[in-house]
Amino acid sequence: MGSVVRCDRYPYVTGSSVLGIKYKDGILLASDTAGCYGSTVRYKSVERLKRIGDNTILGASGEISDFQAITNLLDELITEDWMWDDGNKLGPFEIHNYLNRVMYNRRNKFDPLWNSLVLGGIKKGKKYLGMVSMIGVHFQDNHVATGFGNHLARPIFRDEWKEDMTLEEGVKLLEKCLLVLFYRDRSAINKFQMANVTEGGITITEPFALKVNWELEAFRNPTKGAEGSW
């Protein structure tokens, strides 16, 4: 009997949405810290935001083990870059390009890394925010989101994001979207992290919770305006 080639794979432990926005001084990324095993919230302290070098941050949704493999690859890339000691460092654009190639080439081999990645950074004053999916589709924009964030957060970004927001405005916007995701995405939990990259460096916050209000009028009678829906 010959061997059967696996062309299908399933994710096991997954992370939900990652959000990213550009603001005046740099980039902000946000995600929750849940690692779901199907419909069970198995892990509640998964770090889905990572620093890469000292001018880039990476967030991932999808299979957590694949994200860990990616961070290993990037660590090797950054180390090699550092060892050149040539006065130049890989910037967010270069790292995004590298990840695009990695994801696309894995897709070509029918063995994808099951992640949607958000990559943001700032180099020589130039801000960069991009996204790449598990099959290699990539782009850059002023605001990005993966998974459910595309449906729930992007419309809010399109309405409320503006050029050169302050850090407070940016954080407020992300917190609003994280809250919406917690209300509406069943694989989200009320435990979040935010990552901030500016010319001055990278900070990743300790996990925090947001104030939730289940007594909102809209939750009380959700089908009020649309009889027959649920």
Partner 1 sequence: MSMVFAPCLTETAAPTTHAEPAWSPYDNNGGTCVAIAGEDYCVIAADTRMSTGFSILTRNYSKIHQITEKSVLASSGFQADIRALQKNLDARHQIYQHQHNKQMSCPAMAQLLSNTLYYKRFFPYYAFNVLGGLDNEGRGCVYSYDAVGSYERSGYSSQGTGMQLIMPVLDNQLKSASPLVLPLQKSTTPLSEFEAVDLVKDTFASAAERDIYTGDAVEIVIINREGVRRELMDLKRD
Q: How far apart are CA 196 and CA 205, in angstroms?
A: 8
With respect to partner 1, which residue has the nearer C-beta, 47 or 94?
94
Residues 154-183 that bind partner 1 (CB under 8 A): 154
Interface residue with partner 1, options 81, 94, 141, 169 (CB under 8 A):
141
With respect to partner 1, which residue has the nearer C-beta, 133 or 193?
133
Residues 10-49 that bind partner 1 (CB under 8 A): 10
Q: How far apart are CA 150 and CA 139, in angstroms?
A: 14
With respect to partner 1, which residue has the nearer C-beta, 145 or 202?
145
CB 95 to partner 1: min, Å:
16
Q: What angle do CA 143, 163, 188 make, to 5 degrees?
A: 30
Does 3 contact partner 1 by CB under 8 A? yes
With respect to partner 1, which residue has the nearer C-beta, 53 or 112?
112
Does 135 contact partner 1 by CB under 8 A? yes
Q: How far apart are CA 9 and CA 16, in angstroms?
A: 18
Q: How many residues of this chain bind partner 1 (CB under 8 A)?
A: 31
Q: Which two structure tokens, joined as six digits, stand for 7?
A: 């062309």
C-beta of residue 29 within 8 angstroms of C-beta of residue 120: yes
Interface residue with partner 1, options 53, 59, 62, 112 (CB under 8 A):
112
CB 74 to partner 1: min, Å:
20
How far lies 101's CA from each of 48, 107, 134, in Å? 21, 10, 11
How far lies 201's CA from each of 7, 92, 173, 198, 207, in Å? 41, 13, 22, 5, 19
By CB under 8 A, name the binding residues for partner 1: 1-10, 100, 103-104, 107-108, 110, 112, 114, 131, 133-141, 150-151, 154
